[in-house]
Amino acid sequence: MNHQKILIVDDDSNICELLNLYLEKDGFDTVIANDGEQAVEFALRYSPDLILLDIMLPKLDGWQVCREIRKTSKTPIIMLTAKGETFDKILGLELGADDYISKPFDTKEVIARIKAVLRRSTDGDKSSEIKEVRYDRLKINLTNYELSVNGKRIDTPPKELELVYHLASNPNRVYTRDQLLDEVWGFDYYGDSRTVDVHIKRLREKLENVSEEWSLKTVWGVGYKFEVK
């Protein structure tokens, strides 16, 4: 049995019971929270391996919960969303969610997604080598999630850092938005490529004119690259 702990956050007790039943049958330990404040408290108290987080919650909504948890923790978060809220997908990614599942969902799919996200996050932990790329006046360290420009640490959300690390690790290689969604976010965001644009725009604000030797370039009609002269 794996005994990984899953925090289920939903104000609908039927959904909680259903998820609880399936997850325990699959060998997971579960903790249930029914509102946003409890979710933040339980995330700290129980250090779960993964959080299933509904968006429409009493007290604090899922976005606020995600924001609070991301201040102190990189615990994988899967958002549960009502059908077809595209705006949510983008915001969820921005706030550091790892995946999302639309309701009504199939419990087998939920378990498959949970396992995929957990696998990704533990694969990341296993490689103990330090992951860092350096260029003139720029250092991107993926091991401790630090971006330094001119020797100063710049506060950067995890996904922005992973994105620039991915591009800078493969200098001059052009990536389409879909490739970046797939390789950095690790799942298909239904071709919602605006999220990549938003992240690139924010990275540009941090990295504009830092050095003559490299830049984040848009390749019109294709995607992006980290250009090194």
65-80 pLDDT, tens digit each: 998 998 888 889 998 8
Average confidence score pLDDT of the chain: 86
The per-residue pLDDT for 1 is 45
| Total count of residues recorded for the chain | 229
pLDDT tens profile 117-161? 887 776 655 555 668 899 999 999 988 888 999 999 998 888 899
- Going 61 to 67 to 68 to 73, the CA torsion angle's sign is positive
Q: What is the value of pTM for the model shown? A: 0.59
Rounded Cα gap, residues 206 and 164, in angstroms: 11
Burial of 36 (0-12, 13-18, 19+ CB in 10 A): buried
Give the residue carrying structure tokens 């990295």: 207
Q: What percent of the chain has pLDDT over 70?
A: 89
pLDDT tens profile 2-32? 579 999 999 999 999 999 999 999 899 999 9
User: For residue 136, what are the contacts with CB-CB under 8 A and spacing of at least 6?
Assistant: 211, 212, 213, 214
